[in-house]
């Protein structure tokens, strides 16, 4: 739909050069996780937000690992939350550009985290700056929660949820969706399985109980369990999945191994929990009767990101889709995401309707060498976020 005069004035306050410079500076402050090095980028982000006229504070979640909370509008009134994360995966190998150089080349900012998700954070900051500069009266707070540890165990979002009085009318998670409105995500959990046996000299293997042999049986059973998940499909998100990602066992070639650990990634659907997934794996272990071979097995749930889904007709979906298209994003149907994100925590633990909408591609750019994002796409995201906030909280009709 056509923008009204107040909306045009608001969006005119978003400058591509200013936004690009902010994104480049965010990329130039490495925040790889592991090991969890978000402090430098968090402090820079808080200082930048204060310089733009926003309220900003740091919350130390773990030593040297602060969440950033920046906001404007009435602090006591629930409004809109942008939920981002300041950590990135490590740089890895294979780069042809400096991974933390923040190079601007052919309209794209290049560097680790440019897409996942410092581009989305920069867009949220500049959307909030535009709202601040416009002088628009807001009926609720607009808040950026830039949390730590999304790439690993979710320490940051859990600290956010524990804040007294935390709540919002709606949330946008600015993960890289190619500016498509995502209304549901699969969740994720990690389950470790430990197989125990008995050591012996490899020259007399019958005197031992080989934990690695037991682990091979478990791996095959997990593969069969994965195949069975194909019959349990969600209409938006498809099927869940299981993947064995790591195996570690044994002490030396000349010894029968007495321990072997298997690490499993389980992708979750709405209504499934990490405890459910762990119980399924426990049932598989029981069916193998490893004890009959003198082996033991135990499981441990390491982390969980909840799955979530909104109905396509939900008000939060309608508003996000309209704002993105009016801001210049391609008009496409809403969709689901096979990746997991922190929005599931907001839905399950705080009842906040959440959509995922951001610049860049999780498939083509995130976690890859020479990760990059188009500045033009980040600008469209910033415009969409500003429109969404203004229409939700600023007496601007959608």
Residues labelled as active-site residues? 87, 150
Phi, psi of 160 (to 5 degrees): -60, -45
3-state SS of 233-291 is: EECCCEECEEEEEEEEECCCCCECCCEEEEEEEEEECCCCCHHHHHHHHHHHHHHHCHH
Beta-carbon neighbour count of residue 12 at 10 Å?
Answer: 12
CA–CA dist 273, 295 (Å, integer): 28
257 CB contacts (<8 Å, ≥6 apart)?
A: 197, 199, 210, 211, 212, 249, 250, 251
389 CB contacts (<8 Å, ≥6 apart)?
A: 79, 80, 127, 128, 131, 138, 142
CA–CA dist 149, 350 (Å, integer): 19
76 CB contacts (<8 Å, ≥6 apart)?
A: 141
Q: Helix, strand, or coil here: 147?
A: strand
Phi, psi of 94 (to 5 degrees): 95, 10
Using alpha carbons, select from 363, 396, 360 the residue that is nearest to residue 381: 360
CA–CA dist 214, 198 (Å, integer): 12
Asked whether 322 and 398 are in contact (CB, 8 A), the reply is: yes
Instruction: Kindly give the pairing relationship between strand 142-147 and strand 80-85.
Output: parallel
Q: Determine whether 117 is exposed, middle or buried from the number of CB atoms within 10 Å of its CB (0-12, 13-18, 19+).
A: buried
- Cα angle at 349 between 345 and 351, to 5 degrees? 100
């Amino acid at each position: 739909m056509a923008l009204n005069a107040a909306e045009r004035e608001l969006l005119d306050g978003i400058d591509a050069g200013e936004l690009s410079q902010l994104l480049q500076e965010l990329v130039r402050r490495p925040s790889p996780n592991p090991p969890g090095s978000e402090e430098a980028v968090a402090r820079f982000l808080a200082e930048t937000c204060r310089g733009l006229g926003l309220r900003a504070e740091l919350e130390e979640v773990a030593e040297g690992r602060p969440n950033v909370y920046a906001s404007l509008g009435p602090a006591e009134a629930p409004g809109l939350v942008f939920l981002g994360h300041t950590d990135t995966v490590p740089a890895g190998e294979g780069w042809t550009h400096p991974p933390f150089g923040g190079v601007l080349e052919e309209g794209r900012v290049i560097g680790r985290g440019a897409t996942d998700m410092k581009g989305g954070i920069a867009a949220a900051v500049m959307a909030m700056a535009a709202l601040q500069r416009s002088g628009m009266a807001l009926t609720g707070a607009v808040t950026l929660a830039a949390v730590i540890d999304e790439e690993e165990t979710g320490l940051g979002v859990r600290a956010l949820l524990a804040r007294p009085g935390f709540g919002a009318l709606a949330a946008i998670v600015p993960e890289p969706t190619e500016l498509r409105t995502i209304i549901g995500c699969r969740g994720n959990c990690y389950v470790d399985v430990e197989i125990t046996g008995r050591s012996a000299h490899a020259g007399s293997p019958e005197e031992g109980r080989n934990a690695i042999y037991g682990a091979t049986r478990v791996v095959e059973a997990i593969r069969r369990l994965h195949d069975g998940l194909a019959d349990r499909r969600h209409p938006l998100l498809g099927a869940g999945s299981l993947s064995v990602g790591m195996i570690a066992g044994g002490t030396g070639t000349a010894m029968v191994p007495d321990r072997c650990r298997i690490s499993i990634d389980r992708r979750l659907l709405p209504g499934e929990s990490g405890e459910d997934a762990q119980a399924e794996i426990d049932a598989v272990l029981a069916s193998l009767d490893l004890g009959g071979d003198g082996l033991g097995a135990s499981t441990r749930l390491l982390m969980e990101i909840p799955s979530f889904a909104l109905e396509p007709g939900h008000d939060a979906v309608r508003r996000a889709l309209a704002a993105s298209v009016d801001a210049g994003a391609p008009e496409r149907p809403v969709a689901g995401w096979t990746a997991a994100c922190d929005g599931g925590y907001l839905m399950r633990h705080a009842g906040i309707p959440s959509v995922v909408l951001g610049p860049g591609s999780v498939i083509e750019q995130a976690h890859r060498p020479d990760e990059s994002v188009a500045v033009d796409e980040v600008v469209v995201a910033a415009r969409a976020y500003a429109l969404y906030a203004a229409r939700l909280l600023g007496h601007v009709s959608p």
